[in-house]
Structure 1
Amino acid sequence: MINLFDTASEAHEIKDELLKELESVISSGWYLLGQRLTNFEMAFGRYVGSKYSCGVHSGTDALTLSLKALGIGPGDEVITTPLTAVYTVYALAETGAKPILSDIDPATLNLDPKLISSKITKKTKAIIPVHLHGFPADMPAFEEFGTKKIAIVEDVAQALGATIEGKMVGTYGKIGCYSFYPTKNLGAMGDGGMIVTDDESVSLEVKLLRQGGLTDRDNYLHERVSIHSRLDEIQSAILSVKLKHLSSWLAKRREVANYYSQKMASFPITLPPSTSGFESSYHLYCIRTREREELQAYLREKEIGSQVHYKTPVHLQPCFKNLGYRQGDFPEAEKAARELLSLPMHPYLEKYDQDEVIKTIGEYFEKA
């Protein structure tokens, strides 16, 4: 079986490093909000180029707490894409704000900045561009909307390491939000997330909110109604080890992606986007075809893993029926959702396995 992801090989490669750090955490007797989290936050900030970093429980929490730190809540509106993991919109809905969806650019699959102006109202408080599959959204265009009244909050869950003209995505907006879900390019052995910003006041507010609004530990005084959302010491230690390997893993992902694209250039499919100056992190390698279901079935028959990200756009999800959107409201997102298929993509994908994937896809279209 050729798997879509391979977290086991990653763990095996750095097993000794991980065990050493884990033993150190266990011996310390300190498991929350300790030195390992502080060290990881500092290292992560240096890696992406941000002044302040705040570890939280998940990528979803990163978005929710970021919006709350900006004072966003009931009566406010936040613009984002319908083609994303539903958790992007869960997060903003948790604040009480109203999600306002806008269609994608079919060339990049990301939120189309040219359509945003018509969505902005007096209630608009933030825009959340999602760097889907690891390909950067057009942040220079979104920066034009980033006024004091409209914050740009980047969903970088799939795009750690992606750049625009050498600058890391996640550092263009007011805030960048990351996920350390195990299959991400930098994955925890459990859940985890990170918030980065250059605004000290935002950083301090997020750190207050992640600790249940606690301001006086001795007297247990809380100034905010909030949640516990902490990146623990074990995950911080694991992620600190993995961060040292991230650049080499990203280089391998790009090598795998380039090989796919070169070998499948003549196939009747649409390959992932490629734009000069925009470098993807290739969390996912997604092709587009109108024969998605049939191709996926053929790959499954040949024991090749694949997955659909995401089959049902946000506006057609039952949980967001109350938003009032209907099929046909976002035609580009709906079309992409019918055609996208993720192929095996990870740093440990052997060339002979890639060749098998490519050969099998070629065989399918020859028979079709």
Structure 2
Amino acid sequence: MRVPFVDVRSQYAEVRGTLDPWVSEILETGAYVLGKHNRALEEEVARWHGVRHGIAVNSGTDALRIMLDAAGVGQGDEVITTAFTFVASVEVILQAGARPVFVDIEAAGFMLDPSLVERAITERTKAIMPVHLFGQLADVEALVQTAQSHNLLLLEDAAQAIDSSHNGVFAGNFGAAAGLSFYVTKNLGAAGDAGMILTNDDEIAEKSRSMRVHGMGRERYYYDYVGYTSRMDELQAAVLRAKLARLREWNARRAELAAIYTEELQGTPVRTPQVLPGNNHTWHQYSVVAPKRDELQAFLKENGVDSMVYYPVPLHFHKPYRHLAAGPGSLPVTEEIAASILSLPVHPHLSDDQVRYAAGKVREFYGA
């Protein structure tokens, strides 16, 4: 049996009845840039998350970079964050002229450990930027409290957190702003790159809208800020709107499949994912901590089961970022998880039988 890690073709098959006429209309009218689908998508995602503003941009990376600029993070500032993340989380801090300060993660959810954040704060600390990972939020209550007590910005890397909430409050409401990614493989994925900034701050929203178009102000060819070329293509906005209508259903299906994995993997040496108190989980990834991870992954591949490692090498081991930590052993939980984590297929177009087959192969590997 074949168990693929992603299946974007099946997504398209579900939405093509809505999407194809929209694409034809865009191409026929020539309304390629910041058109009605951009505006509607911004309104729909902002409403879903309960925030005042959604600003569509051309990638999740740009969402983070523009968010940092609009929030005033810059030269000489420090931003506390995690080394267990995709590189964009850290490269944008350096591009803004600030310095990432790595704090280790907690073992339960693989996200920033709030108990370690306080000791990392210095007179240069400007912001705390947790990364909401794999479909659930970091410990936002503790992080908000720490940020407020030290008068720091809280900025959310919500690249994987569309539809993720804590006690019913969605990503984008805990800090000054949040950055979403709509990369192809996300729960809500474009036909390429796309992203969005969420915020309740009117000034950050105004600056972000300007910065995505070269810092242009209300009048054409008059500039208020140094900006970027970061408009979301109208075609991408149409794709995302068509898929957004299916997102709740798709996330519910992911949850059903995750429950099958959790049940089927009982009695094996792997540690199944934990949902942190108060969180929902959208199951962007179903990530287990697995002894003999590399051997397990090879065995699964031999048996037709795809898997991925997010993230195999902590960022403080990579050449451009080594100076940000004290080398091996400096972030022990991060390093332990990176050596043992494995993500199993959990996309909504899998069948129950495919997931049971994948789980069965894990059991077979361990002789469970």
CA contact (8 A) 1:272 1:285 kept: yes
* Amino acid corresponding to residue 119 of structure 2 in structure 1: S
Superposition pairs of residues 69-80 of structure 1, within 5 angstroms: 69-80=70-81
Q: Measure how far apart 1:150 and its partner are.
A: 1.2
**CA RMSD in angstroms, aligned pairs only:** 1.3
* Amino acid corresponding to residue 51 of structure 2 in structure 1: S
- C-alpha distance in 2 between matches for 1:312 and 1:133: 17
Q: Measure how far apart 1:217 and its partner are.
A: 4.2
Superposition pairs of residues 261-272 of structure 1, within 5 angstroms: 261-272=262-273
Q: Measure how far apart 1:270 and its partner are.
A: 0.5
- C-alpha distance in 2 between matches for 1:114 and 1:337: 21
- C-alpha distance in 1 between matches for 2:81 and 2:193: 24
Residue 158 of structure 1 aligns with which residue?
160
CA contact (8 A) 2:316 2:323 kept: no
Q: Among 199, 202, 210, which residue is 1:200 paired with?
A: 202
* Amino acid corresponding to residue 240 of structure 1 in structure 2: R
* Amino acid corresponding to residue 95 of structure 2 in structure 1: E
Superposition pairs of residues 138-217 of structure 1, within 5 angstroms: 138-147=139-148, 149-215=151-217, 217=219
Residue 277 of structure 1 aligns with which residue?
278
Q: Measure how far apart 1:14 and its partner are.
A: 1.2
Farther off after superposition, 270-279 or 176-185: 270-279
What SS does structure 1 have at the residue aligned with 2:323?
helix
* Amino acid corresponding to residue 304 of structure 1 in structure 2: V
CA contact (8 A) 2:264 2:360 kept: no
Residue 290 of structure 1 aligns with which residue?
291
Residue 53 of structure 1 aligns with which residue?
54
Normalising by structure 1, report the TM-score. Answer: 0.97
- C-alpha distance in 2 between matches for 1:330 and 1:249: 35
CA deviation vs aligned residue, 1:211-265 (integer Å, no higher than 9, x gap): 11112644x2222222111111111111111111111011001111111101112
Residue 131 of structure 1 aligns with which residue?
132
* Amino acid corresponding to residue 299 of structure 2 in structure 1: Y
- C-alpha distance in 1 between matches for 2:68 and 2:8: 31
Q: Measure how far apart 1:60 and its partner are.
A: 0.7
* Amino acid corresponding to residue 128 of structure 2 in structure 1: I
- C-alpha distance in 1 between matches for 2:244 and 2:218: 33
- C-alpha distance in 1 between matches for 2:169 and 2:289: 28
What SS does structure 1 have at the residue aligned with 2:100?
strand
- C-alpha distance in 1 between matches for 2:247 and 2:115: 33
CA contact (8 A) 1:290 1:338 kept: no
Superposition pairs of residues 233-248 of structure 1, within 5 angstroms: 233-248=234-249
Q: Could you list the runs of 5+ residues in structure 1 that have no partner in the other structure? A: none
CA contact (8 A) 1:316 1:325 kept: no
- C-alpha distance in 2 between matches for 1:185 and 1:285: 12
- C-alpha distance in 2 between matches for 1:213 and 1:306: 41
- C-alpha distance in 2 between matches for 1:241 and 1:33: 17
What SS does structure 2 have at the residue aligned with 1:245?
helix
Residue 4 of structure 2 aligns with which residue?
3
- Cα 1:139–1:23 change in 2 (3 A) is same
What SS does structure 1 have at the residue aligned with 2:147?
coil
Residue 260 of structure 1 aligns with which residue?
261
- C-alpha distance in 2 between matches for 1:170 and 1:272: 24
CA contact (8 A) 1:170 1:176 kept: yes
What SS does structure 2 have at the residue aligned with 1:241?
helix
- C-alpha distance in 2 between matches for 1:276 and 1:356: 30
Q: Measure how far apart 1:187 and its partner are.
A: 0.3
Normalising by structure 2, report the TM-score. Answer: 0.97
Residue 313 of structure 1 aligns with which residue?
314
- C-alpha distance in 2 between matches for 1:305 and 1:244: 28
- C-alpha distance in 2 between matches for 1:39 and 1:145: 35
Q: Measure how far apart 1:301 and its partner are.
A: 0.7
Q: Give the share of equivalent positions with the same residue, in percent.
A: 36
Q: Measure how far apart 1:17 and its partner are.
A: 1.0
* Amino acid corresponding to residue 210 of structure 1 in structure 2: R
CA contact (8 A) 2:260 2:356 kept: no
Superposition pairs of residues 29-44 of structure 1, within 5 angstroms: 29-44=30-45
Q: Measure how far apart 1:324 and its partner are.
A: 4.7
- C-alpha distance in 1 between matches for 2:219 and 2:323: 40
CA deviation vs aligned residue, 1:323-353 (integer Å, no higher than 9, x gap): 3531111000000000000101100110111
CA deviation vs aligned residue, 1:142-195 (integer Å, no higher than 9, x gap): 111333841111111112112211221232111111000000000000100000
* Amino acid corresponding to residue 23 of structure 2 in structure 1: L
- Cα 1:145–1:256 change in 2 (3 A) is same
- C-alpha distance in 1 between matches for 2:97 and 2:343: 33
What SS does structure 1 have at the residue aligned with 2:266?
coil
Q: Measure how far apart 1:310 and its partner are.
A: 0.3
- Cα 1:341–1:325 change in 2 (3 A) is same
- C-alpha distance in 1 between matches for 2:46 and 2:275: 27
- C-alpha distance in 1 between matches for 2:325 and 2:113: 21
Say if 2:229 is the partner of 1:232. Answer: no
Residue 339 of structure 1 aligns with which residue?
340
- C-alpha distance in 2 between matches for 1:324 and 1:153: 22
